[in-house]
Chain A
Amino acid sequence: MKNIVKIALISSAACLALVACAKKQQPQTDPAADTAPAAAAGQEAAPAMTQAQADSLAAEQARLEAERLEAERARLEALINQIMSEDVYFDFDRSELTEKAKELLAQVGELLLKEKRFTITIEGHTDARGTEDYNFTLGAKRAMKVKEFLAAYGIENSRMESVSYGKEAPKAQGETEEAYSQNRRANFRVNIKQ
C-alpha cells in the first residue's frame, strides 16, 4: 500500500518535472537556433563540423537538463519521503501533541511553507487495544490535532485533509508496548498540486 503511494508520488513528481522541463526548453533552444545561422554566415567551409558541434552541444544540454530534472525529482522525493517519515506519536487514549511531536510538526510545517505545491493527507492511527469504533474517533481526534497545529503554523486548511484509520493500519505488529507506541501515531501522505 505504502509502496504504491510512494510510486504514485514519485511518478507524479516526475510528471511535474517533465511539465516544468517542457516550459523551460523554449528559451534553451533559442541560443542553438542563433548559432546555426551565425555559423552559416561566417564559415561555410565546415558546416558538417558545426552541425556536429551543435549536436554535441544539444546533447550536452539535454544531459544537463536530465541531470537537473533528476536532481529536482530526487529533491522532491527526498522531501516527500522526509514528510512521510515524520510520524507523530501519542500517549495511550490521548490526542494531545507531545513536545517532541510539536518539534517534528514544526519541521513539516517549514517544508510545507516552502513547497507550496504540496498538499497533505494527515492519517490518524491508534494502537490495537480497544474497539474499532472508538479507535476511529480517537484517530480522527489525533489527525485533527496535527491539522490544527499546522494551520497555526501558517499552512492553509485547503492544503490539508485529515482521515482516521483507527486501528486498521498498524505500522508495527505485535502486542507489546513497543508495537503499541509505534502505532499510536499520525502520519502524512503527500500529493502535489498540478
Chain B
Amino acid sequence: MRENLKRFVWGLVLALACVFPQGVFASIDTIAVDVGISVFKTTPIGIVPFEERPGIDWIEERPHQILTRDANLSGRFDVVASEKFNLALFSRSKAKHYMTGKVEPTADGRLAVDCYLYVSQSKTLLLGERYTVPQKELRRAMHAFFDKVIYQLWGERGVASTRIAYVSKIDGVKQVVVSDYDGFHRSQITRDSTISMMPVWTRGNKGLVYVNFKTNRPRLYTKNFGRPEKPLFEQFDQTYSPAVNPVNGELLFSSSKDGKTDLYLGNMETGKARKFAYLKSNQTSPAWSPYATEVLFTSDRGGGPQIFVMGKDGSDLRRVTFMGRYNERASWSPEGDRIAYTSMDNGKMNIYTCALDGSDIVQLTNNAGNNEHPSWSPDGKLIAFSSNRSGTYQIYIMRKDGSNVTRITQAGENTSPTWSWFYEENKPQPKEGSK
C-alpha cells in the first residue's frame, strides 16, 4: 500500500516533470529522462580515459567513451568519470573499482588495446584483456571487455555483446535490420519491395523469423544470416506473431483463416505444425516462459485484447490482465517473475509490467507519445521498445523500472525491437585468479 502511494506520488512528480522539457526527448544519444522510481541497485564504477600512444587517427569514439555508454546502458553501474586515477574521488563516490587501459597503433594500422579493471583502494588488477582490432571493430572489442567486467564483478552475463533486430523503413518499405544492442553496426537483412516485419531471433542467434507480404498476405519466413530465405508453414493461409521456444527452437505463431485466428506450434525444419489451443476466441501474440513450460498470449474473448497464460500442454488457462480494455503483446522477463506488455488508454500506447497473477502493475512509460513493443534484454535488466515521443518512431532502451531511457536509433522510422539471446560463443570463462 505504502509502495503504491509512493509510486503515485512519483507518478505525479514525473507527470509534472514531463510537461516542460520536450527538448529532452529530442536530444540525441544521451540519457533522456527518468520515469518511475528506480529500484535498481547500481554500483558506482570509476572510468579513466585510456593512455594513448600518438599516431592514432580517431574516427570512432574513444575506448573510455564506449565503456561509459555501456556502463550507463547496463542498468548495473553509476559511472564516476575522472580524467585520471583519483582515489579521493573514487572513495567519496564509493567506486570500489575502476576501468582504464592503454591504446596504441600497430604497424599494420590496427589498434592494440589493453583494458584493465582495478580495485580502487589497492590498485589490484582484477581483469586485464588485450584486443588487437581495426578501429571500426573497437566498439565490439570494448563491449566484449565490458561483459567480462560484469561477469567478474556480478557473476552474471552482461548484454553489451548482444544485438537487436527491428523494423526500419527504408525507401518507404519496412525492412528487417539488425544492429548491436547500442544501435551501432546496423545491417539490413531483408531487401524486398514488400513489407517485412515482426522479426524474432532463432536459437543460437543463427538467424531470424519474420513476416513478409510478398504473397499479398502476411506469411512467416526464416533466414539464417548469409543464407537464402525460406518460407515457413505454407499450408497455412496467413501467419504472423512468431515466438521461438527457447528450449527446443519450435515456433509458436498465429494463423488467421476465415476471420478466426488461432495459435499453432510448428517445427521449422520439418514444416509440420499443429493447433496449439482449441479456444473459441481469437488468440495472438504468443510468448514463451524462460524455460518454455508456459505460454502467454492475447485473447479477445472479452471483446478487446487481454493477456492470458496457460501451460505448454494447454492446461491451466488463466487471465492475467484485468485493468483497462486493451492489454496486448506480453513478454516474459528472463528472470521469470514478471511480464512486460503494452496497454492502450485514450488511444495512447504505454508499457507496463506486472506480476504473473496480474498484481503489482507498474507503468514504465507515460506522457511521451506512444510506447510499444517491449522486449527484454536476455539478462532481464533492460527493456527495448519503440516510441514516437520525438515525432518519429525510434528504438529506445530503458531499465526494467522505466528509468534511464536511452535512444539508440536516430534517423528514419524504426519499430518492433526484439532482443537477441546471449551469444554462447561470447560466454566468459571463469578465470583462475587474476592475470
The one of A129, A133, A143, A163 in contact with B241, judged by C-beta atoms closer than 8 angstroms, is A133
Q: Chain B residue with minimal CB distance to A94?
A: B303
Q: Among B35-43, B53-61, B341-349, which stretch is in contact with chain A?
A: B341-349
Say yes or no: A134-B328 contact (C-beta < 8 A), given A140-B256, A147-B259, A164-B256.
yes
Give Cα A121 to B217, complex, Å: 11
* Nearest CB in chain B: distance from A188 CB, A: 13
Main secondary structure of the interface of B (DSSP, over half): strand
In the complex, whether B254 has a CB less than 8 A from a CB of chain A is: yes
Q: Chain A residue with minimal CB distance to B373?
A: A131
Q: Is the CB of B197 within 8 A of A132?
A: yes
Say yes or no: A130-B254 contact (C-beta < 8 A), given A136-B284, A137-B282, A168-B197.
no
Task: List the 4 closest pairs (A to B, CB-CB), nearest first.
Answer: A144-B259, A140-B256, A137-B261, A133-B285
Say yes or no: A143-B259 contact (C-beta < 8 A), given A132-B197, A133-B254.
yes
* Nearest CB in chain B: distance from A164 CB, A: 6
Of the A-B pairs whose beta carbons lie under 8 Å apart in the complex, a sample of 26, sorted by A's number, is A93-B304, A93-B326, A130-B328, A130-B349, A131-B328, A131-B349, A131-B372, A131-B373, A132-B416, A133-B198, A133-B285, A133-B298, A136-B238, A136-B256, A137-B256, A137-B261, A137-B284, A137-B300, A140-B261, A144-B258, A144-B260, A145-B259, A163-B238, A166-B218, A168-B174, A168-B213
In the complex, whether B240 has a CB less than 8 A from a CB of chain A is: yes
Give Cα A163 to B239, complex, Å: 11
* Nearest CB in chain A: distance from B430 CB, A: 41
Chain A residues whose C-beta falls within 8 Å of the C-beta of B248 in the assembled complex:
none
Q: Contact flags (1/0) for B205-245 with A, using CB distance below 8 Å?
A: 00000000100111000000000000000000110110000
Chain A residues whose C-beta falls within 8 Å of the C-beta of B364 in the assembled complex:
none
Q: Chain B residue with minimal CB distance to A168?
A: B195
Give Cα A141 to B213, complex, Å: 19
Q: Chain A residue with minimal CB distance to B218?
A: A136
In the complex, whether A183 has a CB less than 8 A from a CB of chain B is: no
In the complex, whether A162 has a CB less than 8 A from a CB of chain B is: yes
Q: Is the CB of B198 within 8 A of A132?
A: yes
Q: Is the CB of A131 within 8 A of B259?
A: no
In the complex, whether B305 has a CB less than 8 A from a CB of chain A is: yes
* Nearest CB in chain B: distance from A34 CB, A: 51
Give Cα A175 to B198, complex, Å: 22
Chain B residues whose C-beta falls within 8 Å of the C-beta of A121 in the assembled complex:
216
Q: Is the CB of A162 within 8 A of B284?
A: no
Q: Chain B residue with minimal CB distance to A124?
A: B259
Chain B residues whose C-beta falls within 8 Å of the C-beta of A166 in the assembled complex:
218
In the complex, whether B76 has a CB less than 8 A from a CB of chain A is: no
Chain A, 142-188, CB within 8 A of any chain B CB: 143-145, 147-148, 162-166, 168
Interface residues of B (CB under 8 A from A): 174, 195, 197-198, 213, 216-218, 237-238, 240-241, 254, 256, 258-261, 282, 284-285, 298, 300, 303-305, 326, 328-329, 342, 344, 347, 349, 372-373, 416
* Nearest CB in chain B: distance from A2 CB, A: 12
Q: Is the CB of B298 within 8 A of A163?
A: no
Give Cα A141 to B254, complex, Å: 14
Q: Chain B residue with minimal CB distance to A92?
A: B347
Give Cα A40 to B328, complex, Å: 85
Give Cα A144 to B256, complex, Å: 10
Give Cα A136 to B285, complex, Å: 10
The one of B195, B237, B344 in contact with A130, judged by C-beta atoms closer than 8 angstroms, is B344
Q: Chain A residue with minimal CB distance to B257?
A: A140
Chain A residues whose C-beta falls within 8 Å of the C-beta of B259 in the assembled complex:
140-141, 143-145, 147-148, 162
Chain A residues whose C-beta falls within 8 Å of the C-beta of B347 in the assembled complex:
129
Give Cα A162 to B259, complex, Å: 8
Chain B residues whose C-beta falls within 8 Å of the C-beta of A141 in the assembled complex:
259, 282
* Nearest CB in chain B: distance from A158 CB, A: 13
Chain B residues whose C-beta falls within 8 Å of the C-beta of A163 in the assembled complex:
216-217, 237-238
Q: Is the CB of A134 within 8 A of B213?
A: no
Give Cα A134 to B213, complex, Å: 17
Give Cα A173 to B326, complex, Å: 23
- The residue among A130, A131, A168 with the most chain B CB atoms within 10 A of its own CB is A131
Known interface pairs A140-B260, A143-B259; 12 further A-B residue pairs with C-beta atoms within 8 A, sorted by A's residue number: A93-B304, A129-B344, A133-B241, A133-B284, A133-B298, A136-B241, A140-B256, A140-B261, A144-B258, A144-B259, A147-B258, A163-B216
